[in-house]
Amino acid sequence: VKTQDFKTCTQAAFCRRGRALSARAQENPSWSSPYSIDPSTISVLPGQASFTAGVKSLLYPDVKFGLDVRVHKDGVVRVRMDEVNGLRKHYDEAASWALIAEPDISPEIKWSVGKSDVRAVYGDKKDIEVVVAFQPLKVTLLRDGKEQVVLNGRGLLHMEHFRTKESAEEKLPVEQPQGDDSQVVMQVNSRAWFEGETEDGYWEEQFGSWTDTKPKGPESLSIDISFPNHGHVYGIPQHATRLSLPTTTGENAFYSEPYRLYNADVFEYLADSTMSLYGSIPVMHAHSAASTVAIFNAVGSETWIDVAHPTPRSTETHWISESGILDVFLMPGSTPADVFGQYTRLTGTPALPAHWALAYHQCRWNYVSSDDVRDVQRRFDLEDMPVDVFWLDIEYAEEHKYFIWDKKYFPDPVDMTRDVEAVGRKMVVIVDPHLKRAASYPVYQEAQERGVLVKSPGGSNDYEGWCWSGSAAWVDGFNPESWDWWTSLFKTAPQGDKWTWTESTVDTYIWNDMNEPSVFNGPEISMPRDNVHYGGWEHRDVHNINGMLFHNMTFQALKARSDPPKRPFVLTRSFYAGSQRFGAMWTGDNLGTWEHMAVGVRMVLANNIGGFSFAGSDVGGFFGNPEPEMLVRWYEVGIFSPFFRAHAHIDTKRREPYLLDEPYKGIIRSLLRLRYSMLPVWYTAFREASVTGLPVLRPHYVAFPHDEAGFALDDQYFVGSSGLLVKPICEKGATETSVYLPDDQVYYDYFNHYAYRGAAKGKHVTVPAELEKVPLLIRGGSIISTRERPRRSSPLMKYDPFTLRVALNAAGEAHGELYLDDGVTFSHQDGQFIWREFVATSDKKARGVRISSRNLAAQKPSEAVDGVALATYDIANSFVKEMLGVRVERVVVFGLASKPNKVQAGGRDLYWEFTPGVTASEKRQGTTSVLVVKDPDLSVTSDWEIVVQT
């Protein structure tokens, strides 16, 4: 990384001011916030849990602020504060881009206005209380009388009001003309205790050779948010760091710089740093064994966050933003699942991806021609390695004019795409937001004519910057005009005289890169902050939201491409809160090192915490030439990432898996096949995420929120609710590893069926991890559905049979889910899907186990699909009809107590094999007993029961 390209806190005036404010507060024992509520202005909205109040600052009695506090139906508290009738308007639209809708305010909760505060008590057990104190202004969320979240408890709230440069200058300290040198009398600056002696970087700021003209002057926002009873905080992606965020201030702070959120294209980023990266999700979880809470700070400008633990069981954070209003959501929890529900009700759940998008993606910068693409496909097929998607990076485009094929190398783009589609595969092609300024480029010409480009400071001229295409201009997603126009570009059929992408197919999907935006010759490799967007907002106001809008525009465009629509797939590099609704992200330009491999796992987990589950890192590392061992391990990481794509820089050697020697090639073939066999697990986890907001990857604190020993764990995790626990190996030469088991339960090795025993207090066990073996355990009590017939691509598996792995727990029981739909369209929203539950119960009478298939869809139709609450489920819907012949071909039971004497389904005797071994209820470790039931000939669509009598 070129650290000098990116600001530290001391190089950003507002961050410097924010941290100085915090330092003064620290040093001043009698520090008290100058902000207070004027009780006479409190106005409670009738019938709603919402009130407004006037807020005053001791520092500027003439400046007015307005506070708006609401409690939503689900108990989330929203605290908004803005300057009232100021000189200008603070940017107040960040939340409107992040939220799916304006949340419903609770009609039941009542505010009670007291002498010194306003309070509301709510919750099923009336255990939650919100207290808004008047003087100084302080907002506290309590549960069972314990403080969960406190805003402005440390008095760091500061909203810099708009002012003119002249009025500010008048107030500068003035030297008295007379008097001797030793007695220079300063005009008393009554605000210095709070704001500091000098106006630090109010009106102009330099960074490198760039000047930020700051025409609006100072407008930053500082707020302290404390979690007095929570010792761990997580979230605020994207940073290359641990999942449980290390401290940045206080004694023995782990980092010296605050966590920074300012979407940036960081070349060769560090594997352990608080530097900002490509995306920003300002959501933070605070966790303890007693409860989980979270906050979402809906701000779109650059934000720095300090984290400290005054004690091991408490956390203080300080958020410093460059512009915008205070708009903070307090999520009361009290479990991680509650918090995910609360957050995704605000910003949306992850979109249910197209099924194929969960398969393997093969990318490189660049496949250089149509024939190259065909040859890569041919070689995958020759090696019988599954792959679903081939990607084209920027070199497909003539002079980097996106959409425009370079016909010298891609003379037949549609035929090429059809050749890929013939095997059920897809193409993903890159489209970036910078448009080459060339008269010959219709996309740029149209954008210019329509006036939908970002403007340079002053707002009258189109901004010109430098990117891949050389001189470029940027589409302004904040301009509503740009959306329909962008949608029209993706039409594959001609649209009159308008330019459309006729040299494309409806199964061509899109990769949005460089949308931070990346500008090669701009400050911090991005746009000048004083650039102007639609509505006159400065780039600084919307910077972190910018990438999401471009992603969203492309998502909408793909959705509109066919009728009925297909599920779009759009990969983005830049993102914000809410981006999970539009597709997938990846962790950007990582390095081919073990450190980056390891931190990639953590970054993907952090993204899952941020509500954005569909995440992955470039397999192999973008830069460098990984040795075969590292490449194999990277595939092991990849097959257990929600988004699984191999990618490589243009300067690297080719490293498609078919190029490797044995044993590496064979290992990767098996790993790819393992991923494909588990697609039902991933798809089922994504259904759950899309409805409940629960992440696809679940770190220990999410899966076992009461087990303190797991709170800092971030190198092993669970896949959805499946019960699969994985610990990818990210080090050279490993042959075994230590896996943490959080509970008193049996865990089975997926491959060799070894049964490990956990303990109530948690326990570490040693699991073999030779190169070809990913440490993968099934928690006792789980039923895993897989499809084990290797195919060239996932759509070709559509009618393949299922295998069920029934991993009995100590009580002889197990449970699992399976969700299926056509994987392509939105017909699932009309009830075209299969959602089943497999249950194994211990049958005392038969001294055995009953394994049954039940219809969850019919039981809980309203909880099946995101966005629609189906009243009923038609068990004979056309998707079910299509799948009638799809059977369960094999049932494997782990941990059975003894050899069965009979296995039956519907009175039919079934063929089975039994290998004795350790049973589920024993305390002993060792290879477990395995019962394989051969072809019970049961449909995956219907209810059935298998009875195992022992």
Partner 1 sequence: GVEKIHGVAPSLLSRYVAPASDSAPWSCLDGSKTITWAAVNDDYCDCPDGSDEPGTGACPNSMFYCKNEGHIGSLIPSTRVNDGLCEPECCDGSDERLGVCPNVCHEVGAVYREQQTAERKMRSTGSKIRRLYIASAQKEKQKLESQITAAEAEIADLENDVARMKDLIDRTESLSAAALEHKKQSPLYVSFMEHTEALKSLQREYKKRLAREKALGDILDALRRGYNPNYQDMAVLEAVRGWEALARLPHINDVAKDDGEGEQQVITGDEEYEEEEWTAEELEKELDSLLNSDYEALLLEHEKHIGAPTPSSSLLLDLTAYIPDSLLPHYQAFTDTLMAWLEALGIAQGPASADSPDTSKARQAYTNAENSLNAKKQELQRTQEELTRMFDPEWFGSEGEWKRLQGVCLSKDTGDYTYEVCLFDEARQKPNKGGSIQSLGKFASWNAGGGAAVGSPEYYSKQHYTRGTKCWNGPMRSVTVILTCGLENELLSIAEPEKCEYQFKGTTPALCLPPDAQEDKHDEL
Q: CA-to-CA distance for 237 and 586, rounded, in angstroms?
A: 12
Q: CA-to-CA distance for 482 and 450, rounded, in angstroms?
A: 8
Q: CA-to-CA distance for 621 and 653, rounded, in angstroms?
A: 12
The CB-of-381 to partner 1 minimum distance in angstroms stands at 9
Residues 798-857 that bind partner 1 (CB under 8 A): 798-800
Beta strands in 449-516 (DSSP E): 465-467, 470-474, 508-512
Q: CA-to-CA distance for 292 and 269, rounded, in angstroms?
A: 31
Residues 187-226 that bind partner 1 (CB under 8 A): none
- Closest-CA residue to 530 (of 521, 520, 515, 541): 541
Query: What is residue 62's DSSP assignment?
Result: T
**371 contributes a contact to partner 1 by CB under 8 A:** yes
Q: Which residue has the tokens 């002498």?
A: 115
Contact with partner 1 (CB under 8 A): which of 21, 525, 553, 674?
A: 525
The CB-of-653 to partner 1 minimum distance in angstroms stands at 6
Contact with partner 1 (CB under 8 A): which of 267, 483, 751, 944?
A: 267
Contact with partner 1 (CB under 8 A): which of 279, 705, 790, 823?
A: 790
Compute the C-alpha angle 736/738/742, nearest 5°. 145
**876 contributes a contact to partner 1 by CB under 8 A:** no
Q: Which is nearer to partner 1, 149 or 678 (CB)?
A: 678
Say if residue 825 is exposed, middle or buried (CB neighbours under 10 Å; 0-12, 13-18, 19+): middle
Interacting stretch for partner 1, rule CB under 8 A, among 248-256, 347-355, 559-567, 789-797? 789-797
The CB-of-903 to partner 1 minimum distance in angstroms stands at 15
432 with 570: CB under 8 angstroms? no
DSSP string, 571-638: EESS--TTGGGS-EEE--S-BSSHHHHHHHHHHHHHHHHTT--SEE-EET-SBS---HHHHHHHHHHH
- Closest-CA residue to 322 (of 424, 214, 191, 249): 214
- Name the pairing type of β-strands 926-927 and 232-235: unpaired
Interacting stretch for partner 1, rule CB under 8 A, among 178-186, 367-375, 628-636, 657-665? 367-375
- Name the pairing type of β-strands 814-821 and 64-71: unpaired
The CB-of-650 to partner 1 minimum distance in angstroms stands at 6
**408 contributes a contact to partner 1 by CB under 8 A:** yes
648 with 364: CB under 8 angstroms? yes
DSSP string, 680-742: HHHHHHHHHHHHH---SEE-HHHHSTT-GGGTT--S-EEETTTTEEE----STT-SEEEEEE-
Number of residues that bind partner 1 (CB under 8 A): 47
Contact with partner 1 (CB under 8 A): which of 789, 881, 899, 908?
A: 789
Q: Which is nearer to partner 1, 470 or 906 (CB)?
A: 470
Q: Which residue has the tokens 């205070």?
A: 326
Q: CA-to-CA distance for 551 and 571, rounded, in angstroms?
A: 8
Residues 86-145 that bind partner 1 (CB under 8 A): none
User: Per-residue string for binding with partner 1, 426-445, x by CB under 8 A?
Assistant: -----------xxxx-----
Q: Which of 68, 195, 322, 516 is catalytic?
A: 516
Residues 625-684 that bind partner 1 (CB under 8 A): 650-654, 673
Q: Which is nearer to partner 1, 5 or 38 (CB)?
A: 5
**903 contributes a contact to partner 1 by CB under 8 A:** no
The CB-of-243 to partner 1 minimum distance in angstroms stands at 29
- What φ, ψ does residue 423 adopt, rounded to 5°? -105, 25
Q: Which is nearer to partner 1, 470 or 663 (CB)?
A: 470
The CB-of-78 to partner 1 minimum distance in angstroms stands at 39
**796 contributes a contact to partner 1 by CB under 8 A:** yes
Q: Which is nearer to partner 1, 408 or 845 (CB)?
A: 408
The CB-of-900 to partner 1 minimum distance in angstroms stands at 19
Contact with partner 1 (CB under 8 A): which of 52, 213, 369, 829?
A: 369
Say if residue 709 is exposed, middle or buried (CB neighbours under 10 Å; 0-12, 13-18, 19+): middle
Query: What is residue 800's DSSP assignment?
Result: -
Contact with partner 1 (CB under 8 A): which of 60, 520, 537, 944?
A: 520
The CB-of-384 to partner 1 minimum distance in angstroms stands at 5
| SS3 category, 906 | coil
Residues 454-513 that bind partner 1 (CB under 8 A): 466-468, 470-471
Q: Which is nearer to partner 1, 335 or 625 (CB)?
A: 625
The CB-of-502 to partner 1 minimum distance in angstroms stands at 23
**384 contributes a contact to partner 1 by CB under 8 A:** yes
Q: Which is nearer to partner 1, 15 or 646 (CB)?
A: 646
Residues 912-941 that bind partner 1 (CB under 8 A): 934-935
- Name the pairing type of β-strands 283-287 and 292-297: antiparallel
The CB-of-265 to partner 1 minimum distance in angstroms stands at 7
Structure tokens at 618: 């470039």
Q: CA-to-CA distance for 626 and 635, rounded, in angstroms?
A: 12
- 516 is annotated as an active-site residue: yes
Contact with partner 1 (CB under 8 A): which of 42, 113, 308, 423?
A: 423
- Closest-CA residue to 508 (of 563, 433, 423, 569): 569
Q: Which of 538, 589, 743, 866 is catalytic?
A: 589
Q: Which is nearer to partner 1, 47 or 470 (CB)?
A: 470
Contact with partner 1 (CB under 8 A): which of 368, 810, 846, 875?
A: 368
Q: Which of 68, 513, 822, 889 is catalytic?
A: 513
The CB-of-770 to partner 1 minimum distance in angstroms stands at 21
Per-residue three-class SS string for 805-863: EEECCCCCCEEEEEEEECCCECHHHHCCEEEEEEEEEEECCCCEEEEEEEEHHHHCHHH
Neighbours of 145 (CB within 10 A): 7
> Helix crossing, 628-639 with 664-677: angle to 10°?
0
- 935 is annotated as an active-site residue: no
The CB-of-436 to partner 1 minimum distance in angstroms stands at 10
Residue 557's contacts (CB-CB under 8 Å, 6 or more residues apart) are 486, 487, 489, 490
Structure tokens at 387: 């792959």
Q: Which is nearer to partner 1, 68 or 432 (CB)?
A: 432
Residues 696-735 that bind partner 1 (CB under 8 A): none
- 513 is annotated as an active-site residue: yes
**415 contributes a contact to partner 1 by CB under 8 A:** no
Interacting stretch for partner 1, rule CB under 8 A, among 68-76, 420-428, 600-608, 695-703? 420-428
**411 contributes a contact to partner 1 by CB under 8 A:** no
Q: Which residues are catalytic?
A: 513, 516, 589
- Residues of this chain that interact with partner 1 (CB under 8 A) are 2, 265, 267, 368-369, 371-372, 384, 399, 408-409, 422-424, 437-440, 466-468, 470-471, 518, 520-521, 525, 650-654, 673, 788-792, 796-800, 889-890, 934-935
